[in-house]
A = this chain, B = another copy of it.
Amino acid sequence: MIEVVILGNGRTAHFLISQFIACNQIKIKQWYMRQPKGDESQFLIETTTALTSVIKNADIYFICISDDAIASFSKSLTVSGLVVHTAGSIPLQILNDHQQKGVFYPLQTLSKNALPQIDRVPICIEAEKKDDFDLLTRLASLINAKYYSVDSTQRATLHLAAVFANNFSNHLYAISADLCKKNQLPFEILHPLIIETAQKLQTLPPQEAQTGPAIRNDHQTLKKHLKQLSTTPYMELYESLTQSIQKYHEEKL
């Protein structure tokens, strides 16, 4: 039995609880939160809002609070046991006040009301000591998660790569939706294409899947598109992305 304490009540906390609660080899001993949101009682877990009341001898403590607050929170947490944070862009060393420290970072976009299936949430694991690393991988295995060994430098890269793959591509969808709306077109026409483009990655690396006027260096279409965009705020971004594609695939042009 692995005994854990959850610290925080945001989306990551909810995600971990939903996974741990379903596994009879993991026991959530306690759940700390600064400010209850009112929906915590449904989980039938002992809760506390006093940091001083947090039990001292659990196996793992999961810090699931906002990135900026982790450093000072870690300092004020006086427990024995493995202390881990769950943040993509924060190095392991932020937990230096603790003997045993680690990272357990679920790489997925989490929303409280529609939690993703665990097989769609890769877990990035880091720890200083082998025993701690093994404990975290055992925990990941118990909830059937796919896990990767990712150190702090790699995790910072992964966080940045995720900004391109998730935040930035979502913005392109938003531009796409705006162009549709301004021309009385339902954006849903483009959903299948977007999903196909994303799923294709599983069989074809994106650099090989690249298509479109930029990589073909199709001047006529590029000119036409820029003209179409001239009354929108998206002309410069179209140019930046076109140039970036051409630079990336320079040898092909």
Which residue numbers of A lie inside 8 Å of B, CB to CB?
89, 107-109, 114, 116, 120-122, 124, 148, 150, 153-154, 156-158, 160-180, 182-187, 189-203, 205-207, 209-215, 221, 224-225, 228-229, 233-234, 236-238, 240-241, 244-245, 247-248
Contacts and interface: CB of A to CB of B under 8 A. Distances in A.
B157 A180 contact: yes
20 contacts: A108-B196, A109-B200, A116-B192, A122-B192, A156-B228, A157-B180, A157-B185, A158-B180, A162-B176, A162-B193, A164-B173, A164-B234, A167-B212, A169-B169, A171-B245, A173-B206, A177-B206, A195-B198, A197-B198, A233-B247
A169 B158 contact: no
A195 to B, nearest CB: 5
Contacts of A209: 170
Question: A-B pairs with the 9 shortest C-beta distances?
Answer: A167-B212, A173-B206, A198-B198, A169-B169, A174-B206, A165-B176, A240-B240, A120-B192, A157-B183
Interface centre among A108, A172, A211, A213 (most CB of B within 10 A): A172
Contacts of A165: 172-173, 176, 190, 193-194, 197
Nearest to A121: B192
A171 B211 contact: no
